[in-house]
């Protein structure tokens, strides 16, 4: 009985500090892959066509986008307006974080400046003592 208890305690303590095995999840089906075009219904084909068109439109320059149909032009402008707004927000956040990460450096006082400060402090304390009397 005692031997079984000691063995179980040793086994539990050894497994507590061991390296845990990494669980690998492998899927036999590829759900993220597109269906073949022959198996798609009309709605899926339409969505695929719109997706492919948007991928083309999204990469156009502003001059090329000005020649687009009104619906695609509006979508292009809306996309890049939000993109620009998000980028400016991130630049503001980065500027705020930059001052926290690297605080501004204050120049060290020179020997002469330290002496002038000490002299001014002595003069101020002497003046304060003179007023008390």
- Is 89 a residue whose pLDDT tops 80? yes
pLDDT number for residue 33 = 72
Q: Give the domain ranges of the chain.
A: 39-104
Contacts of 90 (CB under 8 A, 6+ apart): none
Structure tokens at 63: 């001059």
Burial per residue of 22-57, b for 16 or more beta-carbon CB atoms within 10 angstroms, e otherwise = eeeeeeeeeeeeeeeeeeeeeeeeeeeeeeeeeeeb
For range 10-25, the mean pLDDT: 65
pLDDT digits (tens, 9 = 90+) for 99-124: 888 887 889 999 999 999 999 999 99
The end-to-end CA distance of the chain, in Å, is 91
pLDDT in tens, 41-81: 999 999 999 999 999 999 999 999 999 999 999 999 999 99
User: Do 75 and 54 touch, CB atoms closer than 8 A?
Assistant: yes
Identify the pLDDT of residue 7: 65
State yes or no: pLDDT of 132 exceeds 70: yes
Whether the per-residue pLDDT at 85 is higher than 90: the answer is: yes
The pLDDT assigned to 14 comes to: 59
Residue with tokens 């707004």: 85
pLDDT value for 10 = 67
């Amino acid at each position: 009985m005692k031997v079984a208890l000691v063995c179980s305690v040793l086994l539990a303590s050894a497994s507590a500090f061991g390296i845990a095995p990494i669980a690998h999840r492998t899927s036999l089906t590829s759900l993220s892959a597109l269906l073949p075009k022959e198996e798609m219904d009309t709605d899926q084909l339409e969505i695929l066509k719109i997706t492919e068109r948007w991928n083309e439109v999204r990469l156009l320059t502003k001059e090329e986008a000005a020649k687009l149909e009104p619906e695609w032009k509006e979508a292009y402008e809306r996309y890049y307006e939000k993109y620009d707004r998000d980028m400016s927000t991130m630049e503001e956040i980065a500027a705020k974080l930059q001052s926290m990460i690297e605080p501004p450096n204050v120049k060290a006082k020179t020997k002469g400046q330290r002496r002038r400060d000490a002299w001014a402090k002595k003069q101020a304390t002497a003046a304060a003592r003179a007023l008390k009397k």
